[in-house]
Amino acid sequence: MKITKIRLFPVLCILLCSGITYADELISWQECLYSAKKNNPDLISAAEQVKQAGRDIDIDISNILPQIDGEIRGKRTKVNTKKPANSYSYTVSASQLVFDGFKTSSEVTNALKTFNSKLYNYDVVSSDIRLGLRSAFTSLMRAQALILITENIAERRKQNLELVRLRYEGGREHKGAFLTAQADVAQAEFEIAQAKRSVLLAQRELSKELGLDKMKSMEVDKDFSLMGDYDAKPELETIVQMTPFLKELIAKKEAADYNLNSKEADFFPKVYVDGAFGRTNNDWPPKKNEWSAGFSVDLPLFEGGSRIFEVSKARSELMQSKAEEKGGKNSVLVTLERSWKDLQDAITNVSVKQHFLVAGEERAKISRAQYASGLTSFNDWIIIENNLVIAQKAYLNAQADMLYAEAYWIQAIGGTLEYDQK
């Protein structure tokens, strides 16, 4: 079924167009996205993790490059009664790794895979932030609309109270009906205050998702409409492969595989070539040339079994990451199925609640005229009035639930803060 715009019921439309506001600033959804991308601390933290992973790559690559050291030494010695002697020298030495069983190359590849996992983790965090942001945005939208609804209900309750009062004072209605009408007015006024407190809470939640240091008094300018069309069910097996969460798990598995290769390479010897050039003399600056060249082979023979234990641990980490990938894929598929089902249910529910609202408005219109004419009892009339109130709130909640369900669906498919700008 295709629903691109949900009709607001007539009274709400009139109130929305009346210019009534409960905030200092009007903020759009695009402005919310911009603020969250710039200020949300969780997203900033994820971005810093990506930077750190990038530096890890540089660190591992540096181990492949020549290692060059410089040294300057000065020494003054005295033996027994002889005159003290001075000696000076400076040396530049270099060492180049030739072979280490591909340990360093495995560490570089491991760092690259870890970097990829951090990039995907950034998308996962961005997707979670979008969900929280959209939910907070919808909550504020719902709270704003609820104030308008409750004010309209309170006005209607007051009109009903006056109608009952006239009949009660004229001896055509009992005291119980009059007291019930008074209680309905009190309930309506309480719900107005409750709705206004809900606006403050929603503003607080939205400020948090925006990454603001202080709560901002905001009003959102969006209506209850979906951001996409959801007529046909997509192929979930295809979507799951594109989700950043699963991509992150795959990258972690690949990183664990190269980490195992690195640990196994510790059993191979490490071969270096090295050389040095310098000068030495008893006077400064030294003038006698010295140089050397050679190679070295490093082969640890016994380290208490630490290399064996590290390989065993790395192999276990690889098995763990494989299991997490498999379990993660199954979990994402379940989440996709559930989110799609909830979205379809929510879309259909809006249509159903709209039918109830239209019917409730018509019944309330008829029963009000009948009660004023004495053609129906207070008990029958007030039941229809209460049903109208229930229908109005149910329709609003259904519209909000539909947007919540859409937000969860977009989060399930991996939609990030960039999703709405594609």
Q: Cα-flanking dihedrals φ and ψ of residue 69, to 5°?
A: -125, 150
- Choose which CATH entry (3.40.50.280, 1.10.3720.10, 1.20.1600.10, 3.40.50.1100) describes domain 10-66+105-269+313-421: 1.20.1600.10
Domain ranges of the chain: 10-66+105-269+313-421
pLDDT of amino acid 12:
43
Mean pLDDT in runs of 10 for the chain (422 residues)?
A: 40 42 77 94 95 92 86 76 75 84 86 93 96 96 95 94 90 91 95 95 95 90 85 92 92 90 84 84 78 82 82 91 92 95 96 96 94 89 94 96 96 91 54
Q: What pLDDT shows up at residue 48? A: 96
Q: In DSSP terms, which residues pair with 87 in a beta bridge?
A: 75
- C-alpha closest to that of 25 among 214, 196, 219, 221: 219
pLDDT score of 2: 40
Instruction: Please list, residue by residue across 136-169, b when 16 or more beta carbons sit within 10 angstroms of its beta carbon and e when fewer do.
Output: bbbbbbbbbbbbbbbbbbbebbeebbebbeebbe
pLDDT digit string, tens, across residues 372-390: 888 889 999 999 999 999 9
The dihedral sign for the CA sequence 300, 304, 305, 309: negative
Half-sphere exposure of 150 (CA within 13 A, CB side): 20
By CB neighbour count within 10 A (0-12 exposed, 13-18 middle, 19+ buried), where does 87 fall?
middle
Distance CA 261, CA 101 (A): 9
The pLDDT tens digits of the residues spanning 142-152 come to 999 999 999 99
